[in-house]
Amino acid sequence: MQTIMRFLSRFGDKVGSFGALVSAMGCAMCFPAIASLGAALGLGFLSQWEGLFVNTLLPLFAWLALVLNGLGWFSHKQWHRSVIGITGPVLLLLSLYPWFKYGWSSYVTYSALALMVAVSLWDIFSPANKRCDDQSCAV
């Protein structure tokens, strides 16, 4: 069970971050700056499914990254990594739903996506190691 949890928290948050990024690249009307990057990468054909991406896939990948970053705390017990990992998906979900009507929500969306990708890259190049055993934590 511990191995499965470690695998999910190690690779699942990267899937969530990458999926949210690709979903945002397919939404030219909502996120023109990142959609132009997606079009430059050859993902312009995704614009025909813009409604699916912004209404279903982007929140789904954000929730996936949020839950798996939260579960990652149980495998590495480093609260600062977990808080930073959770901040990006929470900001993305807030910018999609309650803050969407404000003009500055697109800046929050871009910042949240950048934070999610940065945390994923941080976890790839400097993976979290468990700091506590099952009985106690060293201070």
Taking a C-beta distance cutoff of 8 angstroms, is the pair 118, 91 a contact? no
Mean pLDDT over each residue of the chain, to the nearest integer = 81
Residue-wise pLDDT tens digits, 49-102: 888 888 888 899 899 888 888 887 777 677 788 888 899 999 999 998 888 888
Which residues does 26 contact at the CB level (< 8 Å), separation at least 6? Answer: 35, 38, 43, 46, 47, 49, 50, 53
Which residues does 130 contact at the CB level (< 8 Å), separation at least 6? Answer: 75, 76, 77
> What is the C-alpha separation between 67 and 22, in angstroms, rounded?
19
Count how many residues are written for the chain. 139
Residue-wise pLDDT tens digits, 96-110: 888 888 888 888 988
